[in-house]
């Protein structure tokens, strides 16, 4: 094994790479039809296998303000979800509860505006709860289980320990920590930075 590959293997055995998720939207196939007149078109793949950044963009509008040109992630889901930071919430005039993706009962709604149409979602605006994607093999290696809450130390310019990071395990995942931009900036995240799950 070459040195570079060995180094990578050792690093991946100890650390998990951090990623910062900007504000983004998930929509259903039907909603994509209304907003864009067609299904989502992949623009580039994301770190999680099968997930992609779509070519399509939307405006997200709240009571106080809006964001134009917001990323839409594919493939289409069962229902719409808008993931923003608490900072974004101030601009929109929406207080997003901190939730895991998919857990949108009793969350605020918003208006989504595309080039072909607009829809109002009654719920679905959340601040994504920080989480770690990993495979069952990774979970076994790190000694953690799906839905377990762990502490994660960041090796970043402004080091922090995030105390409430949810582990999400699926054979479809790749090992990455997902932070929002408030969290990324609070720890001084730069692309490629690593975190470590604390015992």
Q: What is the signed CA dihedral for 196, 96, 57, 64, rounded to 10 degrees?
A: -140
Does residue 66 interact with its own copies by CB under 8 A? no
Does residue 102 interact with its own copies by CB under 8 A? no
Residue 118: phi and psi, rounded to 5, are -135, 150
Single residue of 187, 193, 195, 197 touching its own copies by CB under 8 A: 187
Is residue 53 within 8 Å of residue 46, measured between CB atoms? yes
Single residue of 49, 65, 143, 159 touching its own copies by CB under 8 A: 159
Residue 100 CB, nearest distance to its own copies (Å)? Answer: 13
CA distance 61 to 110: 6
**The one segment of 10-18, 59-67, 69-77, 84-92 that binds its own copies by CB under 8 A:** 84-92
Q: Is 151 exposed, middle or buried (0-12, 13-18, 19+ CB in 10 A)?
A: middle
Does residue 85 interact with its own copies by CB under 8 A? yes
Residues 117-156 that bind its own copies (CB under 8 A): 130, 151, 153
CA distance 179 to 89: 16
Single residue of 46, 53, 71, 86 touching its own copies by CB under 8 A: 86
Nearer to its own copies, 55 or 87 (CB): 87
Does residue 98 interact with its own copies by CB under 8 A? yes
Nearer to its own copies, 34 or 160 (CB): 160
C-alpha distances (whole Å) from 137 to each of 47, 119, 170 are 17, 41, 9
CA 4 to chain CA centroid, nearest Å: 29
Does residue 164 interact with its own copies by CB under 8 A? yes
Residues that bind its own copies (CB under 8 A): 85-87, 98, 130, 151, 153, 157-164, 181-183, 185-188
């Amino acid at each position: 094994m070459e040195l570079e590959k060995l180094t990578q293997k050792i690093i991946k055995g100890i650390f998990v790479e951090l990623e910062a998720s900007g504000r983004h939207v998930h929509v259903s196939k039907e909603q994509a039809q209304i907003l864009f007149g067609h299904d989502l078109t992949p623009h580039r793949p994301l770190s999680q296998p099968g997930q992609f950044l779509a070519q399509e963009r939307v405006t997200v509008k709240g009571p106080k303000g809006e964001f134009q040109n917001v990323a839409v992630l594919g493939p289409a889901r069962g229902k719409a979800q808008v993931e923003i930071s608490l900072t974004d919430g101030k601009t929109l005039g929406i207080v997003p509860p901190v939730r895991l993706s998919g857990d949108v009962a009793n969350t605020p709604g918003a208006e989504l505006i595309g080039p072909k149409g607009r829809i109002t979602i009654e719920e679905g605006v959340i601040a994504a709860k920080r989480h770690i994607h990993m495979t069952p093999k990774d979970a076994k290696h790190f000694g953690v289980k799906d839905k377990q809450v762990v502490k994660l130390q960041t090796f970043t310019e402004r080091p922090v320990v995030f105390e409430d990071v949810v582990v999400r395990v699926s054979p479809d995942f790749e090992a990455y920590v997902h932070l929002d931009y408030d969290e990324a900036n609070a720890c001084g995240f730069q692309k490629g930075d690593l975190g470590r799950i604390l015992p």
